[in-house]
């Protein structure tokens, strides 16, 4: 157990659906991250929140909408997705993103399939 949980673990949705991914960290960290992981590609950083404030948005399409109500919870709201958005979505947390030694701890991911 890494202390970071994600639900659901699997999600199949149509292009017109609206769904949300949830992440919770039990490590007392201050920063939370959303990543997209596609087969044989590097992890793509999507969003970063530090002390509930968004500090990074890597040109992510507006059909992905993050929400961070507190330092322990992070959501990714999905609407009108495209088939190319099918991927593993990973959540991570860390103590201090401004530190060189800062280590990110990951959840198990949500496997998303867009039909």
**23 is an interface residue for another protein by CB under 8 A:** no
Both structure tokens of 63:
């059909």
Which string of b and e fits 69-103 if b means at least 16 CB within 10 Å?
Answer: eebbebbbebeebeeebbbebbbbbbeebeeeeee
Number of residues that bind another protein (CB under 8 A): 22
Shortest reach from residue 106's CB to another protein, in Å: 4
> Which of 79, 86, 109, 114 contacts another protein by CB under 8 A?
109
Which positions touch another protein (CB under 8 A)? 2, 4, 40-43, 45, 90, 97-109, 111
């Amino acid at each position: 157990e890494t202390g970071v949980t994600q639900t659901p673990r699997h999600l199949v949705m149509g292009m017109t659906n609206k769904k949300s991914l949830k992440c919770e960290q039990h490590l007392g960290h201050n920063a939370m991250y959303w990543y997209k992981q596609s087969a044989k590609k590097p992890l793509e950083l999507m969003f970063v929140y530090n002390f509930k404030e968004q500090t990074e948005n890597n040109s992510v399409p507006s059909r992905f909408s993050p929400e961070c109500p507190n330092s322990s919870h992070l959501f990714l709201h999905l609407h009108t997705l495209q088939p190319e958005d099918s991927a593993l979505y990973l959540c991570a947390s860390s103590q201090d993103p401004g530190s060189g030694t800062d280590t990110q701890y990951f959840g198990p991911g949500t496997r998303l399939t867009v039909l």
